[in-house]
């Protein structure tokens, strides 16, 4: 893609949102979204921040360069979790954060399964 507007369209289509829905995500009206995509206007930073929160690769839209999340030390599964999280509304994101914060506490409180370190004789009795 050559310019900002074309890259913005590409990212909007990847998100499977209509121009109107994408505009809503960015906090603008549909006509503003159309102007951004046609290159008639440049968006403000709050629009870019809002669409980034929605999972849009804003660095790519602005610069034309993708920065893979794996360069941040994330594996594929972690990248997918982050992308899914970014698609959630604020309430659902908070719920995921509460669940995530509680998991280590619960995980450590579960006792490990006891293992048998006994040997069994040929007759089947414990030694």
Decide if 35 is inside a domain.
yes
CA atoms of 104 and 125, how far apart (whole Å): 40
Q: Are residues 58 and 76 in the same domain?
A: no
pLDDT tens digits, 51-67: 998 888 898 999 888 76
CB 124 within 8 A of CB 92: no
Provide the domain count of the chain. 2
Alpha-carbon span 16 to 14, nearest angstrom? 5
* Number of other residues whose CB lies within 10 A of the CB of residue 32: 17
* C-alpha–C-alpha distance, residues 126 and 44, integer Å: 75
Q: Please report whether residue 60 resides in a domain.
A: yes
Which residue range(s) make up the domain with 75? 68-99
Residue 60 sits in the same domain as residue 83? no
- Specify the pTM: 0.55
Give domain status of residue 88, yes or no.
Answer: yes
Per-residue pLDDT of the chain (127 residues; tens, 9 = 90+): 469 999 999 999 988 899 999 999 999 999 999 999 999 999 999 999 999 988 888 989 998 887 666 556 777 778 778 888 888 898 999 999 999 888 877 666 555 554 444 444 454 444 4
């Amino acid at each position: 893609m050559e310019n900002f507007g074309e890259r913005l369209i590409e990212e909007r289509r990847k998100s499977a949102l209509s121009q109107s829905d994408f505009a809503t995500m960015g906090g603008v009206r549909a006509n503003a979204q159309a102007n951004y995509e046609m290159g008639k206007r440049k968006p403000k930073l709050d629009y870019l921040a809002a669409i980034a929160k929605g999972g849009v690769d804003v660095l790519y839209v602005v610069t034309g360069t993708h920065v893979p999340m794996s360069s941040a030390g994330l594996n594929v599964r972690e990248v997918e979790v982050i992308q899914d999280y970014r698609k959630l509304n604020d309430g659902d994101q908070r719920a995921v954060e509460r669940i995530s914060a509680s998991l280590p506490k619960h995980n450590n409180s579960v006792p490990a399964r006891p293992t048998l370190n006994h040997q069994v004789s040929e007759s089947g009795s414990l030694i």
